[in-house]
Amino acid sequence: MCRFVIYKGTAPVQLSHLLTRPCHSIINQAFDSRLRLDHRRPINGDGFGVGWYDSVYDEELGSQPCIFTSVTPAWNNVNLLRLAEKIKSPLVFAHVRATTAGTLSLDNCHPWSYGKLMFMHNGGIAEFPKIKRKLQMALPDELFNMVTGNTDSQWAFALLLSKLPDPQARCFTPAILQKAMLETIAHINKLLEEHDITEPSLMNFCVTDGETVVATRYISSRTEEAASLWFSSGSTFSEYAAGGHYKMSKTDKRENIIMVASEPLTFEKADWMEIRTNHMVVITPKMNLLQIPIVDKFYVPQSDPAALNRGTEFAAAKGFLSPRRDVARPLESIENHL
């Protein structure tokens, strides 16, 4: 029942406004979920991670993200509370973990980075040990050796890196990251099919180079819903009432802030819109948000009534989705292409 949150803004945000201060921040969701109810493991206490990019480029420091991870419960980490009050960033990835694969270790805590890129995952690749060896064989030595953990997520990151023309490049266009993400999902699906694995895989992947963000809400099924994923956009994200009650405000048409989260960070229904199953969200450097369908054999067009009748039982049973569908309005169609 892992979950993540992404923040991209035209101005830096203090990490505490995402991680610790909101009453339904990702840290509080780790032990007090209102949407994703997992009765098997109701607590996300198997570590956390937060990654961010500097607000101002420093040649000596470089353009790589900084990542802080810990295997302690996020709500009980004093260092996180201290750092969150003193760090600002225009692009933040944060993740809380409940182990479903891999051991409890720093190497298995999301997010991970390679060069300028940062990656995290929410979900699970079905029967991953059966395809692990084949996936590894597709990697060059450098990417194979960069994997220090033993989760399906980090191997998926290595696979995505292998789909890039140059994973150490200084910049990536949105189209390049989008293509690499699609090829990663297609490669995993091919391996699953070759091994006759029919259980759906939940692949909510997200990657960024500090300028562009690509995130997916995806399941290898035509009949089941993917793990939940929401987005919110506006001009400011701030506390409007004591006790950590936050909301997204829209003072003009320009989007200064875009957030993507496994579970909404506020209880304001109008703040959040649901990303459709088997769609990709791309946040461009100019703060445009595009929702693009992932068209493969598991894609169901919105014109097909089956698209509105996907089952929630599979993802809900794994703690990745609530059976209730009334938390926020569905996202209006924005099926644009880069």
Residues with catalytic function? 2
- Is 280:216 a contact under the CB 8 Å cutoff? yes
Give Cβ neighbours of residue 318 (< 8 Å, ≥ 6 apart). Answer: 1, 38, 100, 124, 202, 227
Taking the C-alpha atoms of residue 257 and residue 237, their distance in angstroms, rounded to an integer, is 8
Check the CA dihedral 290-291-296-300 and report its sign. Answer: negative
Residue 108, beta-bridge partner list: none
**Token pair recorded at residue 250:** 């829209």
Taking the C-alpha atoms of residue 228 and residue 14, their distance in angstroms, rounded to an integer, is 26
Q: Can you list the alpha helix ranges (DSSP code H) found in 53-94?
A: 78-84
- Is 200:55 a contact under the CB 8 Å cutoff? no
- Is 15:83 a contact under the CB 8 Å cutoff? yes
**Token pair recorded at residue 179:** 């293509």
Taking the C-alpha atoms of residue 204 and residue 202, their distance in angstroms, rounded to an integer, is 6
What stretch of H or E contains 302? none
**Token pair recorded at residue 188:** 């995993």
